[in-house]
Amino acid sequence: MSETSRSLNFIEQIIEEDLEKGFAKKDLRFRFPPEPNGYLHIGHASSICLNFGLGLRYDAPVNLRFDDTNPAKEEQEFVDAIKKDVEWLGFNWDTERYASDYFQQLYDWAKKLIKDDKAYVDSQSSEEMAKQKGTPTEAGVASPYRNRSVEENLKLFEGMKNGEFDEGTHVLRAKIDMASDNMLMRDPIMYRILHRAHHRTNTDWCIYPMYDWTHGESDYIEQVSHSLCTLEFLPHRELYDWFLDQVYDSSKIRPKQREFARRNLSHTVVSKRKLAQLVENNVVNGWDDPRMSTISGLRRRGYTPESLRNFADTIGIAKRDNLIDVSLLEFHIREHLNKVTPRVMGVLKPLKLVITNYPDGQEEWLEAENSPEDESAGSREVPFSRELYIEQEDFKEEANKKFFRLKLGGEVRLKNGYIIKAESCTKDTDGNITEVQCTYDPKSKSGSGTAESLRRVKGTLHWVSIAHALTAEVRLYDRLFTHESPDTQKDKDFMEFINPNSLEVITGFLEPSLKNAKVGERFQFQRIGYFCVDKDSTDEKLVFNRTVGLRDSWAKIQQSS
C-alpha cells in the first residue's frame, strides 16, 4: 500500500484532529525513546517506523532519545548498537538526546516541587512503603514523613544528591493522593539513591530520576508534541500529565502521551530483558545471533531494511495487543529478496550423479541468467562436467506421476544445462543411494536454439559440478521456540520452550562464482531459499546463513506433526 492510499491509523487521526483544532503543523515533533539496556528488537521496529513515519508524513523532526536513567542496566555498547540499527532501518533523527542531559533540570524542578509542597523525602524502607500502598479498592496509608517541612525536605534531598546517604535510606516522592483510584498516583517515587557510575554522567550523580518523572519532562524539554508509547503506559498517563502540570508554562507546547499496542511476534520473545537472558545463558551466540528477534540478528540473518519496514507498515498499529505470526515477516523478506538477489546454484544434501556418456575430463561453461526478475542483472558462467551433485531429495528410484524430479527411466533438465535421463543407481550395504548414473542428450543444451533445447520436460533440477564446487559452511535456522507464544504460558518459563534444533550446520557445495562473495551479500540458492554471507566467513572458508526458505514449510510441518 502506498503512503497516501491507505487510511489513517488512529494515531494519525489524533494528530489530524489536533491540526483541525488549530495545532500548528510546524510544532509537530516526535521522538523514539529506547532505554539503552539491550539491543533493539522487531517490536521496536514498529515503534521506530511509527515515529519516524510520522516525521516523514508531517515533515516534522524526530529525536532519538536515550532514556538512560538506570545506570545499573545501561551501557554505551547498547547506545551504539541502537544508533546503528535505527540508521540501518533507513531513518534519520533530528537530534540525539539523552535523558541524562536533563538531570540538572530535573533536579531543579524537583526542588521546585518540594517548595510547592508537592514532593517530600520519605525515609522508610521500600517494604514499609509497599505495605502502605493499599490495594485498588482500598486507600493507601500516608507515610509518617509525608508532612516533613519544606526546609527539612530540601536539606535531605540535597544530602541525597551530595552522597551523604546509603542506597535505600531515602527517596523523593511526589505528594499526590494516597487514596487515588490509580495506584500510580499514590505518591510515586521520583528519585532513588544509587551509588553507581553512569555511562555518560559517570559519578556526577548518585540520585537517579524514575521513568515517570523523567519521561514527560524530557518530552517537554524537547517540545515533543505527541509522545507515543505502548499500552502498558496507559495508566501512567494521569501521572505524566500531573508531572507536566507542575512545570508547564502555557507559552510552550504541551506534550501529549498516547498509547498503541505492543507488537509480539510468534515463536520468539520481544523483550530486551528476555533476549538478554538468552545471551547470558548461551542459548544463542550473542545479541546478533541470526535466530534472535533483534534487528541486528535479523540483519545478520539476511533481512533487508525494506523488508522490516514493509512488515511494520503492513501490520500497522493497533489498540490491542496481539501476536503476529512470524510467517508474515518471512513473507516480506521473500518478497523483497526475490526482486533483488542474484540466483546461484548450490547443493546442500548432495547425491553424486555421473553422466556416463559425457567424456571424462571434459568441462564446459554454461551461461546462466543472474535473475529472471531483472534482465539488467546479466549472466554468469557455471562449469559443467561428467560428475555432478544434485540434492538427495531430487532423486527416487520409483515415484508417482506427481514427482517432477528425477526417477529411474525418467528425464529432467539440469538448470542452464542439458536434459538427462536416469539409467541406474548404486546403493551402499544399508540400502542408501550413493550414486545415480545418467545419460545426457548433447543436443538439448539450454539456449542453444535446437529443437531438443526447446523440448519441455517436467522437472528442472539445480546441480553443481563436483570438481569445481566450493565447499562452504551453511547454517540452517529454525524457530528459536517451539511454542508460538513462549512467554505467555501459565506456570511455565519461556526458557522451557527453546527449540533444541534451531540451528543445523552443514557443508554445502556451491558454484564457483561465489568464491568472492562478501560478508552480508545475499543470494537465492535456486530451488532452496535465500542465503547471505555471514561475518564469520574467512578467505579460507565461506559461511552462509539461510535467511528463509523459498516456501513456508513450517505450516506444513505443524500440520503433519
The interface partner of residue 344, options being Mg ion, ligand ATP, none and the CB cut-off 5 to 8 Å by kind, is none
Residue 104 CB partners (closer than 8 Å, separation 6+) = none
C-alpha to C-alpha distance for 476 and 523, rounded to whole angstroms: 15
Shortest Cβ 34–Mg ion spacing (Å): 8
Task: Tell me whether residue 12 or residue 75 sits nearer to Mg ion (CB atom).
Answer: 75
Task: Tell me whether residue 48 or residue 461 sits nearer to ligand ATP (CB atom).
Answer: 48
C-alpha to C-alpha distance for 281 and 276, rounded to whole angstroms: 9
Q: What are the percentages of helix, strand and coil residues in the chain, rounded to 5?
A: 35, 25, 40
Is-catalytic flag, 272?
Answer: yes
The interface partner of residue 391, options being ligand ATP, Mg ion, none and the CB cut-off 5 to 8 Å by kind, is none
CA proximity to 187, closest of 287, 117, 87: 117
Q: Which residues bind Mg ion (CB under 5 A)?
A: 35
Torsion sign (Cα): 41, 44, 49, 52: negative
Task: Tell me whether residue 18 or residue 35 sits nearer to Mg ion (CB atom).
Answer: 35
The interface partner of residue 262, options being ligand ATP, Mg ion, none and the CB cut-off 5 to 8 Å by kind, is ligand ATP
Q: Which DSSP letter does residue 341 get? A: P
Task: Tell me whether residue 170 or residue 272 sits nearer to Mg ion (CB atom).
Answer: 272
Residue nearest to ligand ATP (CB): 43
The interface partner of residue 336, options being ligand ATP, Mg ion, none and the CB cut-off 5 to 8 Å by kind, is none
Task: Tell me whether residue 325 or residue 452 sits nearer to ligand ATP (CB atom).
Answer: 325
For 461, the enclosing helix (H) or strand (E) is strand 459-461
CA 220 to chain CA mean position, Å:
30
Q: Which of 148, 262, 407, 522 is catalytic?
A: 262
The interface partner of residue 43, options being Mg ion, ligand ATP, none and the CB cut-off 5 to 8 Å by kind, is ligand ATP
Shortest Cβ 230–ligand ATP spacing (Å): 3
The interface partner of residue 200, options being Mg ion, ligand ATP, none and the CB cut-off 5 to 8 Å by kind, is none
C-alpha to C-alpha distance for 257 and 240, rounded to whole angstroms: 8
Q: Which of 175, 272, 299, 413 is catalytic?
A: 272
Q: Is 147 exposed, middle or buried (0-12, 13-18, 19+ CB in 10 A)?
A: exposed
- The pairing of beta strand 470-477 with beta strand 542-549: parallel
Is-catalytic flag, 35?
Answer: yes
Q: Are 37 and 211 in contact (CB under 8 A)?
A: no
Shortest Cβ 35–Mg ion spacing (Å): 5
Q: Which of 12, 35, 238, 484 is catalytic?
A: 35
Shortest Cβ 236–ligand ATP spacing (Å): 11
Q: Which residues bind ligand ATP (CB under 6 A)?
A: 33-35, 43-44, 46-47, 67, 229-230, 262-263, 270-273
Shortest Cβ 185–Mg ion spacing (Å): 21
Task: Tell me whether residue 35 or residue 452 sits nearer to Mg ion (CB atom).
Answer: 35
Residue nearest to Mg ion (CB): 35
Beta partners for residue 119, in sequence order: 174
Is-catalytic flag, 77?
Answer: no
C-alpha to C-alpha distance for 71 and 74, rounded to whole angstroms: 5
CA proximity to 266, closest of 482, 121, 64, 459: 482
Cell of 151: 526546609
Residues marked active site are found at 35, 262, 272
